[in-house]
Amino acid sequence: MANAITGIDHGLVGVRDLEAARTNWERLGFTITPRGQHVGWGTANYCIMFDNDYLELIGLVDPSLPSQSLEAALKKHEGLFGVALASDDARETHAALSEAGLDPEDISDLSRRVEMPGSTDIAEPRFRIVKLPQATTPDMNMFVCQHMDPSMVWRPEWQLHANGARGVTSFTVVVDNPEPLLTPYEKLFGAGSCSPTDDSLAAFTGHGSVIFVTRDDVKLIYPDVEVDENLEAPFIVGVSLDVMTPDTAADFLTTAGIPYAHSDNGIVRVAPEHANGVVLEFAKAPVVM
C-alpha cells in the first residue's frame, strides 16, 4: 500500500443532464442513490454504489459556483473524466506523498447534502480530498479521497444492482504513448505496481487497475463498439465492472431492450452512446493473488 493509498475509490462520469443520466443508468440496471448537492460547489450527483467503490454521475447545476474540472470536461464530451483514489487517512497519505516528492496540494474538505429516502432528514457526508498535480498523474485527472462518514455513503440497499454489478475492476485510458507513464505511476502506486507491454501499461492501484492504451489498441480491446475518433487523447474511454456472471447483465439488458455485444470470452459490453459516453463492460474479475 504505497503512499497510504488503498486503491480505487470511485470514477467520475460527467453528464450534461443529470436527471436524464439518472434515468439512463437506472435503465442499465443500476440502483441509484438519492441526489446529492455539493456544498459550496455548483455540482450535484447521483452515485452507483458497489461493495468497495462506486461510480459518480456528476452534473453542473449552478454555473456561478466552482465546478472543479467538470465544466471543462463537459465542453469536450460526456463520460468518465477522473478517478478518485481511496485512503483511510488523508493526512497520512498527504505526508507520504510529500515525503516521496509528489507535491500534493493541501488537504481540502468537501461535503454534500443528500435527502435520505423515506424521511425529511438531510444527510451530509464529509470527505477529505488530496489533489494531485499533473506531473504526479500524467494523462489522468486523479485525486485521493477519504470518507469521513462511510456509513452514509455505503448503504446495503444501494449496493444491489439488477444487472449483477459488484464493483470496479479497471478503467481504460487512451493516451498517445503509455511507455513514459511507468515511472510516475510506480512512484505513486509502488514498485512493481505497473505491468507494461509494447503498447499498454496496467497500473494496479491496490484495489482495481488503470489501464493506459493507445488509440490503435482501443479497436483491439473494444472490437464491437465505436469510440468517437474525434476525441483527443488523453481520455478515459471505459470501465470494466465485476459481475458474478456476465449472463446476469446480458439477461437484464435484453429484457430492457438495450443493445450490447457479447464477446467470445464472455464479456458483455455496452457502447458509449447508451451510457453517457462510457464504454461499459460487465465481466467476472480475475482473481488477484
Pairing between strand 108-115 and 209-213?
A: unpaired
The position carrying cell 502506486 is: 189
pLDDT at res. 224: 87
The residue-averaged pLDDT of 15-34 equals 98
pLDDT at res. 287: 59
Coil/strand/helix, residue 92: helix
In sign, the C-alpha dihedral spanning 159, 10, 20, 174 is negative
Q: What is the pLDDT of residues 43-87, one digit of tens each?
A: 999 999 999 999 999 999 999 998 888 999 999 999 999 999 999
pLDDT at res. 117: 77
- CB of 144 closer than 8 Å to CB of 83: no
pLDDT at res. 201: 97
Fold: same for 2-158 and 165-283: yes
- CATH number 3.10.180.10 given to 2-158: yes
Q: What is the pLDDT of residues 84-103, one digit of tens each?
A: 999 999 999 999 999 999 99
Q: What is the pLDDT of residues 216-249, one digit of tens each?
A: 999 899 988 888 888 999 999 999 999 999 999 9
Query: Any idea where the domains of the chain sit in the sequence?
Result: 2-158, 165-283
The identity of residue 162, as a single letter, is: A
Q: Is the pLDDT of residue 286 over 80?
A: no
Q: Is the peptide bond before 196 cis (omega within 30 degrees of 0)?
A: no
The residue-averaged pLDDT of 106-126 equals 89
pLDDT at res. 146: 98
**Which fold, 165-283?**
2,3-Dihydroxybiphenyl 1,2-Dioxygenase; domain 1 (3.10.180)
Question: Please, what is the average pLDDT of the chain?
Answer: 95
What is the pTM for the complete model shown? 0.96
- CB of 224 closer than 8 Å to CB of 263: yes
